[in-house]
């Protein structure tokens, strides 16, 4: 193969790699930044990894209407002095092709306090990071309002991302309800 064709082939491969979904990854917040954004009044965050047992997994599926998906959850509790403010649960869901990393802040009563998008890797659909869309989750529980069309509006052009994040948040609300609710 001549040098020109070899260079052209390498350039095409490089451009193809850059055009993949991962080339669009944007990290908005770290886990620590998300915790502080969700519970700014907290004085302490305590790592509280959660391992669900088989019975809890079944209960999460029953409460959320979704597969429990994971035994292990990355949870931190947020405290102001001796007062529990809530929990921050880190999770990832698939968008259309790539993972979306997000954090869900959950109140001690298992209602949603706030959600934050940490990393978005898709080429389209970044609108799920808009504050107005994320605000729809506040105050909702696994049984009430955490579904597309039932309290959460879909985003045109980001329908899979918005549906998958919504399902993920509903699953997290169920995990907190089943395993951590006070």
pTM: 0.85
| pLDDT reported for residue 168 | 97
**Residue 174 domain-assigned (yes or no):** yes
**Residue 13 domain-assigned (yes or no):** no
CA angle 164, 167, 169 (to 5 degrees): 110
Do 21 and 98 form a contact (C-beta atoms < 8 A)? yes
Q: Is 145 exposed, middle or buried (0-12, 13-18, 19+ CB in 10 A)?
A: middle
Do 98 and 87 form a contact (C-beta atoms < 8 A)? no
Instruction: Please give the share of the chain, as a percent, with pLDDT higher than 70.
Output: 87
- For residue 12, pLDDT over 80 is answered with no
Q: CA-CA distance, 155 to 136, in Å (whole number)?
A: 12
The answer for 69, left when phi > 0, alpha when psi is -120 to 50, beta otherwise, is left
**Residue 60 domain-assigned (yes or no):** yes
| pLDDT reported for residue 24 | 66
The label of the residue with tokens 């980001």 reads 158
- How many distinct structural domains can be found in the chain? 1
- For residue 26, pLDDT over 90 is answered with no
pLDDT in tens, 35-93: 999 999 999 999 999 999 999 999 999 999 999 889 999 999 999 999 999 999 999 99
**Residue 7 domain-assigned (yes or no):** no
Residues comprising the chain, all counted:
182
**Residue 10 domain-assigned (yes or no):** no
**Residue 11 domain-assigned (yes or no):** no
Q: Can you give the residue range of the structural domain that contains 30?
A: 21-179
**Residue 169 domain-assigned (yes or no):** yes
Helices (H), 39-158: 54-64, 131-135
- For residue 133, pLDDT over 80 is answered with yes
**Residue 66 domain-assigned (yes or no):** yes
- For residue 7, pLDDT over 50 is answered with no
């Amino acid at each position: 193969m001549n040098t020109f064709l070899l260079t052209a082939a390498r350039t095409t491969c490089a451009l193809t790699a850059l055009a993949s979904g991962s080339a669009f990854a944007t990290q908005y917040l770290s886990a620590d930044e998300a915790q502080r954004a969700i519970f700014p009044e907290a004085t302490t965050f305590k790592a509280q990894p959660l391992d669900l047992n088989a019975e809890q997994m079944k209960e999460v599926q029953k409460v959320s209407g979704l597969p429990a998906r994971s035994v292990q959850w990355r949870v931190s509790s947020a405290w102001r002095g001796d007062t529990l403010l809530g929990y921050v649960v880190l999770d990832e869901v698939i968008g259309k092709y790539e993972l979306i990393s997000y954090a869900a802040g959950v109140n001690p009563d298992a209602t949603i306090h706030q959600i934050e998008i940490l990393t978005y890797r898709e080429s389209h659909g970044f609108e799920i990071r808009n504050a107005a869309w994320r605000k729809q989750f506040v105050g909702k529980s696994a049984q009430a309002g955490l579904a597309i069309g039932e309290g959460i509006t879909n985003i045109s052009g980001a329908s899979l991302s918005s549906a998958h994040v919504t399902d993920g948040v509903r699953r997290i609300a169920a995990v907190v309800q089943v395993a951590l609710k006070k």
